Structure 1
């Protein structure tokens, strides 16, 4: 703004438009009498801030600008030439160079690690690799492929085994009928039966039912020569009920027909009732007369013997040393009697 006196203030120089060439202060700094590559004492006691603006307005400036008007023009003026100005300009150039180098370094880091997440990315990568390695190790220790599944036990294999059951067991006295039917295979007199198993025995009721059907309809059994044909039913009224029960329950039902099974823990045909009682302890554990090796045959003898009573047959013994014991001999209790040795036999007609 113009003053009111006769002497006007100097007309401000017009600022040159920014062009492609270097700034004037950069050119002035490189005159012949000043070696910019020689060691130089800083123009000011204040250390230059490498992160400050490229133009250092405060470097070398006295505390009060009124005492340095000859060194500085106003903000719109051109800096006066001189060593002080060149020194300040060099300081600005150095700061610019440092800033440029830092910018290049940072730019390189940013280019190498976009988003500035190098450490986090590396940490995430390490974690992913650890998880992958852990999974790989787990895969390496995976359970080997199972071999062929074991074949289910056959009927004969099941019948050849003993099963745990206490000799003193007394069950609940409640029975479950084994579901299903098994048609009579022959043309003889048909007798129907149901199979009941006392609850809580822990024995295979279906195996027991299968054994009854196979045994009774064997040609060595009571179905011999077409005399009978036995059929298992599930509903309706049967001719008799073959019952697998605990020793205590067996004794209760046998007592209904005046029989005592507690002395030798045996089975019975409770003729006054519909039940043919098979002692579950004997079914599961067998007897000393047959031993574990022949328990399959012993179970066949139990069925044939007690059903034989239901068909009207009484007790008999062998009469000749070394002969097969008749199926109606009390083979659970003994094989030998009166000096005669009898051989175990589960069938009414063993030679068939």
Structure 2
């Protein structure tokens, strides 16, 4: 009986050994194919600094700022004002809405002397804006105004100095080639003042035009007398002849101040 089990036991032992060798052979190949792990960096000894460099800070790339658009070139001021003109006028073919909060409606038309290189339509648009200004007559109940091209209650004319003198002289006024006036037929604006402003006015000619229109239309609505300076450093009344001197006042182109208070002064003429 014992002899029967020797061979099977021996066979099982050989199989077991062969399997182990095969397993060892397979594992050997797998271990050889795997990459060896990298050795850890050496630890810093006492008194030594770590050799690992800190990460470099990332500097953000600055976004280029857009260049601002070039500033518009200022419109050159016209200085070659003609002394005289044709004596005939072109009427602005324009109409507008009535502006104002009270008083009777006053319709006006705008005329420009021929040949003076000023657009009648553009002048009419500018005068319309002046009369609608929040510090003007219409905004404070001193009348309503409407731009028309015909059937007007009064006319606003822009004329050369010689023509302005002639029109003003018909109303008994001496404007000496320098001044504006208001007559029974309407307002006469001296082209020199319209284009150049006044040497006594601290502001551009475009602002001085407000003073021209507000002063002469002030006469048109019934303010016949001129005013003087109310005190040093105060705003000059619009009914003051500011071109003749400010007498300590500050130049001003509007009948009312920013709080809506009427700017007045002593009656002088």
Which category describes the TM-score, using the shorter chain as reference length? Answer: 0.5 to 0.7
Contact 1:165 1:284 in 2 (8 A): no
CA change 1:151–1:204 in 2 (3 A) is farther
**TM-score normalised by structure 2 residue count:** 0.65
In the alignment, the residues of structure 2 paired with residue 329 and residue 187 of structure 1 have an alpha-carbon distance, to the nearest angstrom, of 25
Question: Are 2:87 and 1:177 aligned?
Answer: no
Secondary structure of the 1:332 match is helix
CA change 1:253–1:321 in 2 (3 A) is same
Gaps of 5+ in 1: 1-149
CA change 1:350–1:281 in 2 (3 A) is same
Gaps of 5+ in 2: 1-69, 261-269
Q: How many residues align?
A: 188
Question: Are 2:155 and 1:241 aligned?
Answer: yes
Residue 186 of structure 1: how far off its partner (Å)? 3.5
Secondary structure of the 1:193 match is strand
- 2:250 is aligned, of 334, 337, 343, to 343
Residue 163 of structure 1: how far off its partner (Å)? 2.0
Contact 1:175 1:198 in 2 (8 A): yes
Structure 1 equivalent of residue 11 of structure 2: none
In the alignment, the residues of structure 2 paired with residue 186 and residue 320 of structure 1 have an alpha-carbon distance, to the nearest angstrom, of 30
Secondary structure of the 1:172 match is coil
Secondary structure of the 2:125 match is helix
In the alignment, the residues of structure 2 paired with residue 183 and residue 301 of structure 1 have an alpha-carbon distance, to the nearest angstrom, of 22
- 1:307 is aligned, of 217, 225, 231, to 217
Residue 152 of structure 1: how far off its partner (Å)? 9.9
In the alignment, the residues of structure 1 paired with residue 174 and residue 99 of structure 2 have an alpha-carbon distance, to the nearest angstrom, of 35
In the alignment, the residues of structure 2 paired with residue 283 and residue 318 of structure 1 have an alpha-carbon distance, to the nearest angstrom, of 23
CA RMSD of aligned residues (A): 2.3
**TM-score normalised by structure 1 residue count:** 0.50
- 1:277 is aligned, of 178, 184, 188, to 188
Residue 253 of structure 1: how far off its partner (Å)? 0.5
Secondary structure of the 2:249 match is coil
Structure 1 equivalent of residue 5 of structure 2: none
Divergent runs of 4+, >4 A: 150-153
